[in-house]
Structure 1
Amino acid sequence: MLSSGHRLPRGTGTMRKWKIRTKMIAGLTALAIAFATLVFSSWSQMSRDRTLANEIGLLADEIDLAHGLIRLTEKFKGSVYDLQTVGNEKQLRPHQPLHLELPADWGRISETISFDLDRLQRALATYRKKISEQSEGESEAKLLIDRDQQLKNLAAIESHLADIQTDWNQSEQLQDQLELSFFRADLTAKTQQVEQLTATNFEAVQGAIKQFGEKVDNEHRAKRNTFWGLTIAAFMVMLFLAWLFWTLIVVPFRTLIKGSELIANGHHKHKILLGTNDEIGLMADTINEITDGFNNAVANATLAWKRAEQEVRERTREAIQNEQLASVGFLAAGVAHEINNPLGAIAWSAEALEESLDEISEEDGETVDESFLAELRTNLGLIQSEAFRCKGITKRLLSFSKLSDSSRDTENIGELVERVVALVGKVGEYRCKTIQTHLTGDVRAYCNAQEIQQVVLNLVSNALESVDTAGKVDVYVRQEFDPLTDRRNAIISVEDNGCGMSQEVMDHLFEPFFTRRRDNSGTGLGLSISARIVSLHHGALTPYSDGEGCGSKMVLRLPTEAPKEVSPTALRTPSLPTSTFAQTIAEDSELISKDVEKVA
């Protein structure tokens, strides 16, 4: 299909749908926004200058307070040093008593230390109050220094001063120079800690001043870049508006004219693709409606044809299978009737011979070899067993050709599958193989539970037969919508990682008497009867495999509700008898039945 149109850049999708008048209003609005942005930039610069002035004032006050705290700390340290000097004037001499009197000038030094300590505490309280007010009232100040860390340092200084004050208040109890020496050492250590903390605080203030200068420089560069950026942006807005006028108005006009000429020249499948919703776009849409309707009609007809073709293939395959099953059923009925009479004679004769052997053993037990009689009894028993086995096969062949009525109802497929898996898991030869069920929600189907249970048993047993000892079989139960039939189906998918199937095997998989078991056992009726039951349930049984050695998958689809044309309570469709079909499945896997009986 031919089409003409201009490719609009990204970001213009919304504007393409505007009217021409709306586009003009949008352009003027963009210019107004650019002007408002420039005004806002100027106002924000003035506001920031005022904030910087406030920060300079805050830094100046903080420098004075921090420097005063340093100075008072040095003064207090000097007084403590005087106390240390006085204490060192008198050294203990050999054979001199430990308890001596305090120095004579102890009172003067004590008053000096008390005075300096009080000044230092008051200055610290003033400093801390000022910092707290700045931290709560001026959010910009937090950009200069970490106020939380600073308050922690000041609190630590206050704590040390409180300890010094407590110790100093107890200094009046000193009685001699020995006690003074211990007190002096402790006081000196705490004073050094206070000095270190005040120095750390002053360094933080100095760092804030340095950061303040860097911040001012950065903001200056940022504002300058913002100014040039906004100026360039305003210029780009004007260029962008001119480009939009060319792209959204001039170019669509040219495209509309060229497209109209192509349609007039006979290109009826041609479409004019403008992608706009203005007056020009409405003109193009009016022309495109005709081609859209035609293309939709073609697409719908193609889809309907594909669905019909798929339905015909499915129905043809089902008809062929049903015809094959009907032919086999007719043949099976004749063969079964013809074979039953000879089999009955063989079984009766073997039983009569066995009774004769019993009479011989009672009358002439001494003249006849007992080992010979035992061998005869064994062979006669084998003849009877095999005759009855053949008779059972003919009986199942007769049941294959007959139909009976069975009622159906809405059944829980998940519980049905779990029962089958639990049954198969008890079989001796399958206990070493892994089988798992994967249920998705509450899945229900309209079916005969016993018949579908036997179908699932056949699928699961076939999958287990195809895998090795370490093989794995997964059974998935879910529900999905089939758009082809416009109905919801219950899906049972039996997947294995066994020997797989070739395309030839899948083509003949549901034919009667077709079997590819690795041990050459089975009659090949299991899957054919299963397919027949699924067909009578208006379902489908589909095999999948990527080839030999790649595993296989059998997908069983069942409708979730009864056909609309038949009442669910009155529906009775032909199907195999439950007991007869159970015998047929058991014959197809005789070892399973024997092991299940042993477990029971």
Structure 2
Amino acid sequence: MKDAGVLPFNSFTNNSILIGSALEAALLSFALADKINIYKKEKEESQAEALLISKENEKLIREQNIILEQRVEERTHALQESNESLQNTLTHLKETQAQLVEAEKMASLGQLTAGVAHEINNPINFVTSNVAPLKRDVDMVWNAMDEIENIALSDLSLSEKKQRINAYKEELDLEYLKVEVDFLLKGMHEGAYRTAEIVKSLRIFSRVDEDSLKFADINEGLESTLVILNSVVKEGVAVDKKYGELPLVECYPGKLNQVFLNIITNALYAINKKFDGNSGGILEIKTEADTENIYISIRDNGIGMPTEVKEKIFEPFFTTKEVGEGTGLGMSIAYNTIKKHQGEIKIESSVGEGVKFLIVLPRKQQTQ
């Protein structure tokens, strides 16, 4: 407008751009300052809101922590009660297990008591039945000595004395008396020896070694078990013993003898089921060793077992026997005992052909 002549030339019109720029800068400054104040106010409000939210969150966290601590305390108390209950249950189960194992052992020994009594009674009868005739023969010997002494001290001539002594010896049948005394003494010796062997086997079989490992002769344990079971081995069952040269094995001998008893008893049961007292039954017991393990094989040619029985044979209370013939604990105890010895027990079976149990035991127990 100045350049067009509408407005006069003066200091204002000549400096209008500068004045406008100054005004614009001033207005912009005021606008910026106002905007800054707005942002500052919004920031303060936001910070106040964030602080409020933070305080609310802190309050909520404290409340949640209190609730959580209460729940943790309640849960801990419940877990402690549950743990105590589990400990009591575990203790009860261990006691029950020990009682069941002892009951199974007593049941096995109870079944064998009559047989063992019969086994001991037979050799004892050798002794008792021979005592009376031996006493009679000894009395006859003493009487003969007295009679011969009387003849020797008599006033008879030597030829008469010899004649009377020979006549008395013929009357007494002294030669037969010697044979009879030898026979009676032999029978008493065999009876006493057999009784001693049975007692020795009973002592070996019923070792008390529940808490201590010992080095034992496995062949001796098997033999003692067979002696205990001798009355159960019926006629017609051939026992084939193939004992190898075994080192002494670190084990719980009494527990292993219980394993042998359970397995051999089952084998004899299977044989009797198949042959029913007739000939043809075979029980084979074989032992051997290598540098690390010993191997005990117990095989029978009885009725065998199907797959479904083989899969359950080591389960507690599982039995194929009739009610009253078995507790169903024998094989479970055998399995756990072998596992306790860090060994293993394997089964090979064919229905109608028999069963083979293979027990593998380390020669020395590793520290667990």
TM score, norm. by length of structure 2 = 0.41
